[in-house]
Chains A and B, each alone.
Chain A
Amino acid sequence: DAGVIQSPRHEVTEMGQEVTLRCKPISGHDYLFWYRQTMMRGLELLIYFNNNVPIDDSGMPEDRFSAKMPNASFSTLKIQPSEPRDSAVYFCASRNGLTYEQYFGPGTRLTVT
């Protein structure tokens, strides 16, 4: 199995631009999670889906952030408009509902200038 796949691995954009991060979960996993990691705040859960339905988005910072999961094999996290404080590493993770462990992708390093 290829594991959780994220793209792009690195993204540099200017303030005000729209940013879209992509994630392909492990096949057969019915939970998908988006996390953000910064030096100041550590690793934070933003939102998670179960069977493509958003279950808890209480970690989403503000309305500039949105996440979708149109099907079981694809999810996006969009930031519009982006701000320098959004600079972070964004991780996607997935889980099989029958087990406890979450499997994380390699992350997308976002830099907003």
Chain B
Amino acid sequence: DAKTTQPNSMESNEEEPVHLPCNHSTISGTDYIHWYRQLPSQGPEYVIHGLTSNVNNRMASLAIAEDRKSSTLILHRATLRDAAVYYCILRDEFSGGYNKLIFGAGTRLAVHP
């Protein structure tokens, strides 16, 4: 499985943008980039995913480098509710791997009022 590298922790202030980086230098051509987050005392929740192009949804944006060796999850205006552990996960669609999510340590995001 392709490996991802994320900072252990990051901090932000409320209402400011947050850029959460993820390095995946060994990504293969068929690997999708998925992001999940886990709020305190809750199960993980899906945030966003993409393959090559940048993606936007109501929760966040995903910016993917042209060589796909890194990506950035962007929270446009952080709120206190965004304090969570954010996981960057690579999954190979064609091996059926999107069923086997492999969670690393993730990035713990703290949001200050």
B is bound to A: yes
Chain A interface mostly: strand
Chain A contacts with B in 16-36, Cβ cutoff 8 A: 31, 33
Q: Which of B42, B46, B104 has the most CB of A within 10 A?
A: B46
Q: A91-B43, A93-B43 known; A42 and B103 CB under 8 Å? A: yes
> Among the listed stretches A65-73, A78-86, A95-103, which one makes contact with chain B, having 4 or more residues with CB under 8 Å of it?
A95-103
Contacts of A95 in B (CB 8 A): 99
CB of B49 closer than 8 Å to a CB of A:
yes
A100 near B34 (CB under 8 angstroms)? yes
Contacts of B38 in A (CB 8 A): 43
Contacts of A31 in B (CB 8 A): 99
Contacts of B102 in A (CB 8 A): 45
Interface size on A, residues (CB 8 A): 21
Contacts of B103 in A (CB 8 A): 42-44
Contacts of B46 in A (CB 8 A): 100-103
Contacts of B45 in A (CB 8 A): 103-104
CB of B80 closer than 8 Å to a CB of A:
no
Q: Mark B17-52, 1 if CB is under 8 A from A, else 0.
A: 000000000000000101000100011111001000
Q: How far is the CA of A3 from the CA of B43 in the complex (A)?
A: 11
B101 near A45 (CB under 8 angstroms)? yes
Q: How far is the CA of A43 from the CA of B45 in the complex (A)?
A: 13
Q: How far is the CA of A25 from the CA of B103 in the complex (A)?
A: 21
Contacts of B43 in A (CB 8 A): 4, 91, 93, 104-107
Q: Which of B43, B44, B49, B104 has the most CB of A within 10 A?
A: B43
Q: How far is the CA of A32 from the CA of B62 in the complex (A)?
A: 27
Residues of A within 8 A of B (CB): 4, 31, 33, 42-45, 48, 55-56, 91, 93, 95, 100-107
Residues of B within 8 A of A (CB): 32, 34, 38, 42-46, 49, 98-105
Q: A102-B44, A103-B46 are in contact. List 11 more A-B contacts (CB 8 A).
A: A31-B99, A42-B105, A44-B103, A45-B102, A48-B99, A91-B44, A93-B43, A100-B49, A104-B42, A104-B44, A104-B45
